[in-house]
């Protein structure tokens, strides 16, 4: 079903436990493919700075060197000239997002596909967040964006793009499937074969698994199938239309009615990230003010910003969100507290040379507490 949605019904894929595993599996696949086909033993990959952290995680697991390329500060698309310069004889994989997690923007997948084709390397498109939104934008009449396509336009991203060899898509996000379900799709079954792990001579018999998990939860697979059957193409189409219309209303309001803020890039789908252009308004302060009003937004860095990922639950409260955001901006300007979770944690990470190290240590301590009785 997902392969048809991404215009490659004759392709291949597997289910995974989530977007992270889908991306890790893609990296494993390209590492093994490059070793077998090209003899590469010191693999490298090139990714945008806005790519999901799962790429770094997968690279660490699989022993792949990462070249992280900055994005254009205005368009938020990966810098293609730097991508091209980063490609070398050990490159196994390029990556792009449609859409990325931090600010909801899309990389130029067509241009990345041309580079992947030219240098005979893989191109993975991360659609974990775009999932069941971006494939329906065209049918919803929203792919062309607004203002003649200058805002919110969706560019080609799926298997119709020459050079795209794999795509990850989370069914548990806008597919409304049970948490812990995602898919990794390949252009053909031959490439998918490199994802498998097979040990034929184990004393316990032949061991073969398609992904990281040995025991795979049938209930999750069945639940995902049931959710997709229930929603159907028309259900996902209407969901896409409502959610994206809501997101664009928020983006347009920020652009036209909140002069202290600006929207990062031109997000075509469900995520809207915004930062401050007023020296008297600290965006993390705004985020903390919103938290006190019941809105728990994601804090971002590079630049300092926050984002909202719109869902079907946002539709009924979008007016309240906009009103609270306007009020929070005024409060942050007139009575900044300098306190709060975002200010304390993310402010330190972006303003101090040792900040990232300290933030990392705090994150580790937090994980430790999860495993204390």
272 part of a folded domain: no
Q: How many domains does the chain have?
A: 2
368 part of a folded domain: no
pTM attached to this predicted model: 0.94
249 part of a folded domain: no
- Does residue 282 share a domain with residue 204? no
- Does residue 313 share a domain with residue 214? no
- Does residue 39 share a domain with residue 174? yes
Q: Which helix (H) or strand (E) holds 85?
A: helix 80-86
270 part of a folded domain: no
356 part of a folded domain: no
344 part of a folded domain: yes
CATH number assigned to the domain comprising residue 67: 3.40.640.10
Distance between CA 121 and CA 26 in Å, rounded?
A: 13
Question: Domain containing 317: what range?
Answer: 278-349
Last residue of a domain, one of 157, 188, 223: 223
369 part of a folded domain: no
pLDDT at 237 over 80: yes
Torsion of CA 349, 321, 232, 269, to 10 degrees: -50
Q: Which pLDDT score is estimated for 274?
A: 98
Q: How many CB atoms lie within 10 A of CB 118?
A: 11
- Does residue 183 share a domain with residue 94? yes
Smallest CA-to-CA distance from 244 within 96, 144, 128 is with 144
Q: What is the pLDDT of residues 77-122, one digit of tens each?
A: 999 999 999 999 999 999 999 999 999 999 999 999 999 999 999 9
Smallest CA-to-CA distance from 128 within 265, 21, 11 is with 21
CATH number assigned to the domain comprising residue 291: 3.90.1150.10
Q: What is the pLDDT of residues 259-295, one digit of tens each?
A: 999 999 999 999 999 999 999 999 999 999 999 999 9
203 part of a folded domain: yes
């Amino acid at each position: 079903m997902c392969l048809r949605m991404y215009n490659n019904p004759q392709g291949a894929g597997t289910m995974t436990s989530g977007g992270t595993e889908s991306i890790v599996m893609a990296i494993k696949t390209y590492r093994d493919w490059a070793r077998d086909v090209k003899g590469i033993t010191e693999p490298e990959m090139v990714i945008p700075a806005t790519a999901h952290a799962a790429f770094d995680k997968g690279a660490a697991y699989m022993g792949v060197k990462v070249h992280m390329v900055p994005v254009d500060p205005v368009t938020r698309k990966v810098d293609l000239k730097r991508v091209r310069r980063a490609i070398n004889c050990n490159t196994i994989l390029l990556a792009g997002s449609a859409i990325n997690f931090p600010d909801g923007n899309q990389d130029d997948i067509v241009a990345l596909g041309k580079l992947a084709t030219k240098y005979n390397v893989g191109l993975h498109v991360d659609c974990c967040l775009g999932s069941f939104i971006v494939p329906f934008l065209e049918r919803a009449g929203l792919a062309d964006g607004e203002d003649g396509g200058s805002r919110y336009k969706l560019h080609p991203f799926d298997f119709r793009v020459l050079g795209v060899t794999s795509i990850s898509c989370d069914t548990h996000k806008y597919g409304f499937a049970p948490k812990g379900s995602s898919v990794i799709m390949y252009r053909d079954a031959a490439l998918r074969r490199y994802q498998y792990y097979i040990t034929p001579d184990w004393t316990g018999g032949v061991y073969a698994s398609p992904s990281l998990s040995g025991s795979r939860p049938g209930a999750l697979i069945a639940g995902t199938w049931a959710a997709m059957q229930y929603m159907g193409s028309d259900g996902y189409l209407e969901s896409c239309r409502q959610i994206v219309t809501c997101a664009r209303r928020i983006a347009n309001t920020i652009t036209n009615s909140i002069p202290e803020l600006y929207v990062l890039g031109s997000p075509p789908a469900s995520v809207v990230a915004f930062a401050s252009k007023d020296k008297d308004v600290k965006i993390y302060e705004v985020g903390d003010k919103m938290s006190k009003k019941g809105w728990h937004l994601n804090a971002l860095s590079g630049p300092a910003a926050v984002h909202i990922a719109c869902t079907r639950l946002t539709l009924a409260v979008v007016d309240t969100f906009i009103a609270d955001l306007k009020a929070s901006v005024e409060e942050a300007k007139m009575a900044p507290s300098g306190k709060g979770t975002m200010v304390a944690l993310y402010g330190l990470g972006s303003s101090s040379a040792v900040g990232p190290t300290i933030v990392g240590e705090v994150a580790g301590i937090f994980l430790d507490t999860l495993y204390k009785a």
